[in-house]
Amino acid sequence: MDKDIITLTVHGKDFLGKVQGRKGQTVLEVLRDNHIHVPTLCYHPKMPPYGGCRLCIVEIENMRGLPPSCTTPAVDGMVVHTHTDRVFQVRKSVLELLLAYGDHNCLLCEQTGNCELQDLVYEHGIEKIRFKSDYKSKPLDDSNSMIVRDPNKCVLCGRCVRACLEVQVNGVIDVALRGSDSCISTFNGMSLKDSNCVFCGECVSVCPTGALTFKQARFKGRPWELKKVQTTCTYCGVGCQMELNIKDNEIVKVTSSHEIRGPNVGNLCIKGRFGYDWVKHPDRLKTPLIREEGIFREASWEEALSLIAQRFENIRVKSGPDSIAFFTSARCTNEENYIMSKFARAVIGTNNIDHCARL
Amino acid sequence: MHTETISPLPAKGRQLLVCRGTGCESQKANLIFGALKDEIFKAGLADDYKVKFTGCHGLCQMGPTVIVQPPGTFYCNVAPEDVAEIVKVDLVEGGKVDRLLFIDPQSKERVLTYHEMAYFNPQRRIVLRNCGFINPEDIDDYIEVGGYEGIRRALSLTPLEVIEEVKSSGLRGRGGGGFPTGTKWEFCNKSPGDQKYLICNADEGDPGAFMDRAVLEGDPHSVLEGMMIAGYAIGATKAYIYCRAEYPLAHERSLIAIDQATQRGYLGKGIFGSDFDFEIKVKLGAGAFVCGEETALMASIEGKRGMPMPRPPFPAVKGLFGKPTNINNVETFANIPVILTKGGDWFARVGTEKSKGTKVFALAGKINYSGLVEIPMGTSLRQIVDEIGGGIPNKRKFKAAQTGGPSGGCIPAEHFDIPMDYENLTQVGSIMGSGGLIVTDETTCMVDMAKFFLSFTQKESCGKCVQCRLGTKNMLETLTAISEGKATMEDLDLLLELAQDVKAGSLCGLGQTAPNPVLSTIRYFRDEYEAHILRKECPARVCRSLIKFQVNEAACTMCGSCFKACPVGAITWQKKQPAHIDKEKCIKCRSCILACKFHAID
Amino acid sequence: MTNSIEELEKADVILVAGSNTTGMHPVIASTIKRAVRSGKTKVVVVDPRKIELVNHAELWLRPKPGTDVAWLNGLMHVIINEDLHAKGYIAERTEGFEDLKQAVSTYSPERVEEISGIPKADLIEAARLYAKAPAASIIYAMGITQHINGTDGVKSVANLAMLCGNVGIEGGGVNPLRGQNNVQGACDMGGLPNVFSGYQPVTSKEVREKMGRAWGVESLPEKPGLTIVEIVDGAVKGDIKAMYIMGENPVVSDPDSHHVRRGLNSLDFLVVQDIFLNRTARLADVVLPACCFAEKDGTFTNTERRVQLVRKAVEPPGDARPDWEILCDLARHMGYPMSYPNASAIFDEIASLTPSYAGMDYARLADGGLQWPCPSKDHPGTKYLHKDGFARGKGLFHGIEWISPAEGTDEKYPFLLTTGRVLYQYHTGTMSRRSVALNERYPECLVEINEEDAERLGIKSGDKIRVSSRRGRIEATASVGDSVDLGTIFIPFHFAEVPVNELTIAALDPIAKIPEFKVCAVRVEMVGEE
């Protein structure tokens, strides 16, 4: 028997029995691996656990208090209760406090339908907020064209901080101030635009609420209206896997996820994340163009291709196939490069084909 | 005072001791020190008297102080102008400067020496053994009273033998947790690691507590020596003193002490001729209360935001820079050299069954003499308040004592005779904490006091856990509403419920204990809360929104005290006439209420 | 890359040379920084510019541009001198070690310091760090290759890796980072003058016959064709009469733009197929509108040899068509039957003719792609190369001498110009300069100049300055700082209105024909001065 295997007894919401995990896992990881639900907000599988939201608290026999499952190491023989009345009550009070000290009006929020806080509030059957508060609205950081930061929707889960520091290792943001004034801040409270942020968008991608949103995507489509198409980024040679979020034949935003297999494990950079608007740019070429007396005119495909075929044929016959040359492209697909190689070699009969690999 | 521990008395010659702790220094103790030297010289006594500055004696309220030693004449509230008179009358003429002598609060008699003072006499000084008697900036002064004998003995033992000695003393961590120190060392000793760290927690954050500051200012070498012994015991070669930036003098004296010890070869490579290397650095903290918490403290030393981390892993396994680390506070370390020189058994004879040794309390609030007192564990609260502290001013009644600062709770009058040790304090719903002891009387409103502590913890919450960040905020808002008469009994119920959730749902001690002042005041003084809520009345007349600032003519004795106390002339009064308050002029400063002995102002 | 991106987190030491990874390959840079953060990995940066990775590095060596072979030889000199080389590995898996030993013997740290400016002690420390690491990876990019001795630089990198037994192990390797999304694929697919797909040489009769059979033609040309720069030269000379340019913008991207423009203008007939009417397309006789990546299916092969799917997400604008469809249609117009139902069918043909892609098809690529070589349907792909040996049998050391760059500074042109890219723009800017977000971050071409040089010349950040070389001159805005060393300036080539390649020299590496973009001599002055 594998000595790294541990067994836990779980009294869950819809589960009672023993589950197995590995030594070194946290209680939450064992529960998740066994598809036992525990609510979380600050936990994200991409990042080290934080233990701040206190929603994943559980009761563990022979342990005092309500340990958070995300930071508690799983030990063989543990008996874990995930949904006792006490646990449920504390979770509810956490959620009500978050609602009381923020501006969580789902009708006015971009993230409606894609908000973990919204889901959790629903899961806990919260209909009214018992806590009165003197919460005052804070100003947005709307200074750049990519990311909108709305501190009123921030639950201070610290995911963005860890995404910036632990995943992208840029460390642009951290928690600032103390007590109920605590907030996520850049150095010296600068706007994101003036900070040393490189706009990879990692923070937005892990934000569980509408505190961080993609500006270009705002009001362009509800989550359930978007069709996600997984593809490969067209910029550098890393080949990041990303999802184009499409509505009405338009790219609304670009997302990725650690659950998608690829060299980037869900990370992107500014170009892949935000540099897609040129796809719809009015300058895009839409018809073939033929130069006549120095000026381009629009032409049909038939006309353009016939002209090229005829000119190439003439030149080949007159000056030989090696008088024709091809630049293929490091930006086109393999299939297209292959076809151009085939075209140059089999149709024209020349090896004069190269591309900008060296540039 | 029991001074059997180590004689602080100089071996020879006579001394003039000038306290230059932070309190006295802020009242021109430096000028007093300079003037004394001048006057002694002028009087031709420079060869007969050594003028020496020291750290804090503890009785800060009566500072600046000058002690003529022997016989221990204790001059209080000395001003630079008094120095010439002290030299002339006491040193030259052999008399006493009566007006500067301490007056016993009970007998009203002048007391000649500190040996006879009720403030000092019941104390048992181990931690503060040298404070007020040696020059903290002179390593030889420390050595002269037996300093650095503890580490010499430790180095003749094995690390595990040192740990056994400390375990046998029964010493428990003085920072608040009360965890057995020897056991803590043993964990770190047994934790595998190529590099281990030792940290001295000098981030004393409880409002009102300043014993750690006093020790670092008055006897820094005892802390260094304690750290050396601990370092040797656990196998740490590098150590930090994490000192808050608000303690510039403690910081400076620590640096001087480290420098002197290094020059002597007491710190550095192969200390005291052994093969044990030990170095100490001082790291300044930026005044975050939460950085007193071990994991937040280590984060701060590493240059990160001071935010607590979950335990396990415990610091003994994975601490500073990921290495095994042991953390004790200043007061704990100051005990260690004595345990090594006098033995664990000797130490264990002081105190109660489970709480050994002494505890330093910072006595404050409604008390005649505030300052530091060190008493054997098990001393009753009554003795501390009535005897050492000289009772409560204006013959008011003891209401409760708040111990443990913002993490603690209150001890009401019904437990006035409680022997002060870890177990008893926990039993009545409070804690030892780091030793803050705030005395309250009938003019203290318990709602207001809970509000004070909660506003402190709310401001100091690191913001990580939702309950601590926002739960304490909501509790504070409810307390404010209660103090303004705007709350309902349902609010009180919700406050209690939330208090339990905050305790249960917070990661570190700050959040887990932040509701304690609220819970304990509700436990013992629920009637006061109800008075605010149901009768819109503050019985102690502290919560301004609920004070009418009008004279109750039935209770008024027409004495005129309020009239005399009012700073803005809002009160009119004539003999044999009840006073009257003009509400237009009144600024609600409460001077009249404090002046009135008959509770005649509503 | 011989190894995979994920393996960077398993390396004990990563030597980053001539790669501004955070700017060009940000996602790989994050992987490197995470590795450093975990405490396992140490990074040594060798770069004339103070790149962002320097902040995460254990050690930064700052060579003068164009001295790569010298400092690489210097590292090997120290390693051999201190007996830190992998003797067992060298004996078992390599040949030519004596040649190498001989060649590097004269590159003492003192001499290398003289050539490169790298302090002797730093060079020695870097050599020890690299050589003592159980697994050490070398990351490099155009900073090594874009020199007249770029091939020498690459061979020297390989020498170093083999010397310490770092080729063929997990977490090690020689890892060039490819700048463009499918530069690896374009090479793999035979987009080169001397090879068919999978690097099958056109000179091989056997290969030509195989390809001829598959493509239905009797013969295929056996003489290797011309490279980019040679094609342009041929056009200028009149040997090349017609060109077909697909998705390239040589007027902006290639060295010595004047020369390129003259070549293209000399053609009888130029076809450009692109998504925008870029500077090159404006010279064309016929322009054909193509689909961009979001509008078509296909595959890209990334820098770690991973073939991944590209999927159509939106419809193309107007009449734009996928490049392959256009080419097939044109072939039919020329009487050659070429048609495929979809991109997947083309890929199947590729797989059938390309041994390293033989085991791949779209279904297998759908989840995570596959790294070549993947010779059969049951092959899982190859995470790192040369595990059990080198393609040629034994790894061959090459003794290489350093040669100085083609153009040195002189009184008239006292600065070294080095060109490259910035994080916020891409290549010739055709796409990225039409993105609102990217232009907000980096709207105009900035010339990076050292603060001391700037002060001497009276230049402040934001000033308009003129940069001239023997071939041309441009004007741009100065950015003063410490990112470049004294005597060096850096200009990105993304900006068509600041065509830095009017300054660069078309000096080529004799083997790889790569232009020396990283060094040429220029003069810097304030606009208004002469």
Integer CA distances (angstroms), A311 to A298, A306, C241, in order: 18, 9, 10
- In CATH, what number is assigned to the domain containing residue C288? 3.40.50.740
Q: What is the pLDDT of residues B517-533, one digit of tens each?
A: 999 999 999 999 999 99
pLDDT at A11 exceeding the cut of 80: yes
Q: What is the pLDDT of residues A19-55, one digit of tens each?
A: 999 999 999 999 999 999 999 999 999 999 999 999 9
pLDDT at B1 exceeding the cut of 80: no
The closest of C17, C22, C50, C46 to C450, measured between CA atoms, is C50
* Nearest beta carbon to residue A335 from set C239, C286, C299: C299
Summarize the confidence of residues C271-278 as an average pLDDT.
95
Q: Looking at beta carbons, which residues of chain A come within 8 Å of C333?
A: 305-306, 308-309
Does residue C187 sit in the same domain as residue C167? no
- The reported pLDDT for the residue numbered C508 is 78
Task: Pick the residue from chain B with its C-alpha nearest to A65.
Answer: B504
Task: Pick the residue from chain A with its C-alpha nearest to C344.
Answer: A335
The closest of C404, C400, C425, C428 to C416, measured between CA atoms, is C404
- The reported pLDDT for the residue numbered C529 is 56
Bridge partners of C64, per DSSP, are none
What residues contact residue A139 under an 8 Å CB cut-off, 6+ apart?
A151
pLDDT band at B69 (very low <50, low <70, confident <90, very high): confident
Does residue C147 sit in the same domain as residue C69? yes
Nearest-10 crossing angle of helices B489-505, B516-534: 170
The closest of B559, B551, B560 to B599, measured between CA atoms, is B551
The closest of C299, C306, C385, C309 to C350, measured between CA atoms, is C299
Summarize the confidence of residues B560-572 as an average pLDDT.
93
Structural element, H or E, at residue B580? strand B580-581
Average pLDDT value over all residues in chain C: 92
Taking the C-alpha atoms of residue A100 and residue A129, their distance in angstroms, rounded to an integer, is 7
Residue C405 lies in a domain: no
pLDDT at A181 exceeding the cut of 70: yes
| Between residues B107 and B210, the one the model is more confident about | B210
Task: Pick the residue from chain A with its C-alpha nearest to B506.
Answer: A54
What is the distance in angstroms between the Cα of A149 and the nearest Cα belonging to chain B?
19
Summarize the confidence of residues C201-209 as an average pLDDT.
94
Domain total of chain C: 3
What is the distance in angstroms between the Cα of A225 and the nearest Cα belonging to chain C?
15
- The reported pLDDT for the residue numbered C229 is 86
Taking the C-alpha atoms of residue C133 and residue C131, their distance in angstroms, rounded to an integer, is 6
The closest of B237, B496, B451, B214 to B329, measured between CA atoms, is B214
* Nearest beta carbon to residue C221 from set A262, A350, A357: A350
Does residue C41 sit in the same domain as residue C145? yes
What is the distance in angstroms between the Cα of A115 and the nearest Cα belonging to chain B?
18
Instruction: Indicate the pairing of strand A241-247 with strand C520-526.
Output: unpaired
Q: Which of C177, C252, C302 to mutate to test the interface with A (most CBs of A within 10 A)?
A: C302
Q: What is the pLDDT of residues C26-68, one digit of tens each?
A: 999 999 999 999 989 999 999 999 999 999 999 999 999 889 9
Does residue C145 sit in the same domain as residue C209? no
- Three-state DSSP at B28 gives coil
Does residue C170 sit in the same domain as residue C32? yes
Subunits with 3+ C-beta pairs closer than 8 A to A: B, C
Does residue C228 sit in the same domain as residue C346? yes
- The reported pLDDT for the residue numbered A14 is 87
Summarize the confidence of residues C159-167 as an average pLDDT.
92
Q: Maximum Cα–Cα distance for chain A, whole Å?
A: 92
Residue C157 lies in a domain: yes
Which of C147, C177, C207 finishes a domain? C177
- Domain of C259 in residue numbering reads as 183-371
Q: What residue segments make up the domains of chain A, in order of their start?
A: 5-83, 220-284, 289-358
* Nearest beta carbon to residue B310 from set A53, A71, A100: A71
Integer CA distances (angstroms), A296 to C287, C319, C327, in order: 9, 16, 21
Q: Are B483 and B538 in contact (CB under 8 A)?
A: yes
CB contact under 8 A, A329 and C248: yes
Q: Are C263 and C232 in contact (CB under 8 A)?
A: yes
Does residue C22 sit in the same domain as residue C163? yes
What is the distance in angstroms between the Cα of B10 and the nearest Cα belonging to chain A?
49
Residue C406 lies in a domain: no
- Assess B540–A contact: CB distance below 8 Å, yes or no: no
Helical segments of B372-465, H only:
381-382, 422-427, 446-460
What is the distance in angstroms between the Cα of B427 and the nearest Cα belonging to chain A?
18
CB contact under 8 A, B310 and A51: yes
CB contact under 8 A, C434 and A283: yes
Q: Looking at beta carbons, which residues of chain B come within 8 Å of A175?
A: 305, 307, 462-464
* Nearest beta carbon to residue B505 from set A50, A54, A100: A54
What is the distance in angstroms between the Cα of C80 and the nearest Cα belonging to chain A?
32
Taking the C-alpha atoms of residue C397 and residue B104, their distance in angstroms, rounded to an integer, is 95
CB contact under 8 A, A52 and B459: no
Task: Pick the residue from chain B with its C-alpha nearest to A156.
Answer: B464
Does residue C463 sit in the same domain as residue C477? yes
Residue C402 lies in a domain: no
CATH of A5-83 among 2.60.40.10, 3.40.50.10860, 3.10.20.740, 3.40.50.1820? 3.10.20.740
pLDDT at B383 exceeding the cut of 80: yes
- Assess B434–A contact: CB distance below 8 Å, yes or no: no
Taking the C-alpha atoms of residue A108 and residue A126, their distance in angstroms, rounded to an integer, is 19
pLDDT at B4 exceeding the cut of 60: no
| CATH number attached to the domain at A220-284 | 2.20.25.90
Taking the C-alpha atoms of residue B197 and residue B319, their distance in angstroms, rounded to an integer, is 8
- The reported pLDDT for the residue numbered A1 is 57
Taking one residue from A and the other from B, the number of pairs with CB-CB distance under 8 angstroms is 108
Q: Looking at beta carbons, which residues of chain B come within 8 Å of A52?
A: 464-466, 507
Summarize the confidence of residues B262-291 as an average pLDDT.
94
Does residue C163 sit in the same domain as residue C191? no
The closest of C482, C491, C417 to C451, measured between CA atoms, is C482
Does residue C187 sit in the same domain as residue C334? yes
- The reported pLDDT for the residue numbered B5 is 39
- In CATH, what number is assigned to the domain containing residue C484? 2.40.40.20
Query: What would you report as the CA-atom Rg of chain A, rounded to the nearest whole angstrom?
Result: 28
- The reported pLDDT for the residue numbered B12 is 55
Taking the C-alpha atoms of residue A201 and residue A272, their distance in angstroms, rounded to an integer, is 10
| Between residues C173 and B230, the one the model is more confident about | B230
CB contact under 8 A, C287 and A353: no
Q: Looking at beta carbons, which residues of chain B come within 8 Å of A57?
A: 504-505
* Nearest beta carbon to residue A231 from set C274, C293, C327: C293
Q: Which domains does chain B have, with CATH numbers?
A: 14-116 (3.40.30.10), 139-347 (3.40.50.11540), 358-441 (3.10.20.600), 446-534 (1.20.1440.230), 548-602 (3.30.70.20)
Q: CA neighbours within 13 Å on the CB side: how many for A343? A: 33
- Assess B317–A contact: CB distance below 8 Å, yes or no: no
What is the distance in angstroms between the Cα of A279 and the nearest Cα belonging to chain C?
7
Summarize the confidence of residues A252-256 as an average pLDDT.
96
Q: Looking at beta carbons, which residues of chain C come within 8 Å of A320?
A: none
- The reported pLDDT for the residue numbered B206 is 87
Bridge partners of B401, per DSSP, are B411, B439
Summarize the confidence of residues B457-474 as an average pLDDT.
96
Taking the C-alpha atoms of residue A115 and residue A104, their distance in angstroms, rounded to an integer, is 11
Residue C380 lies in a domain: no
Q: What is the pLDDT of residues C456-468, one digit of tens each?
A: 999 999 999 999 9
Q: Looking at beta carbons, which residues of chain A come within 8 Å of C320?
A: 284-286
Does residue C307 sit in the same domain as residue C172? no
The yes/no answer to whether this complex scores an ipTM above 0.85 is yes
What is the distance in angstroms between the Cα of A290 and the nearest Cα belonging to chain C?
5
Residue C388 lies in a domain: no
- The reported pLDDT for the residue numbered B441 is 94
Subunits with 3+ C-beta pairs closer than 8 A to C: A
CB contact under 8 A, A359 and C323: no
- In CATH, what number is assigned to the domain containing residue C72? 3.40.228.10
CB contact under 8 A, C323 and A296: no
pLDDT at B10 exceeding the cut of 50: no
CB contact under 8 A, C34 and A304: no
Q: What is the pLDDT of residues B171-210, one digit of tens each?
A: 999 988 899 999 999 999 999 999 999 999 999 988 889 9
Q: Looking at beta carbons, which residues of chain A come within 8 Å of B454?
A: none
Residue C317 lies in a domain: yes
Q: What is the pLDDT of residues B490-518, one digit of tens each?
A: 999 999 999 999 999 999 999 999 999 99
Q: What is the pLDDT of residues B346-366, one digit of tens each?
A: 999 999 999 999 999 999 999
- Assess B567–A contact: CB distance below 8 Å, yes or no: no
Does residue C78 sit in the same domain as residue C151? yes
Q: Looking at beta carbons, which residues of chain C come within 8 Å of A318?
A: 241
Summarize the confidence of residues A268-284 as an average pLDDT.
94
CB contact under 8 A, B505 and A182: no
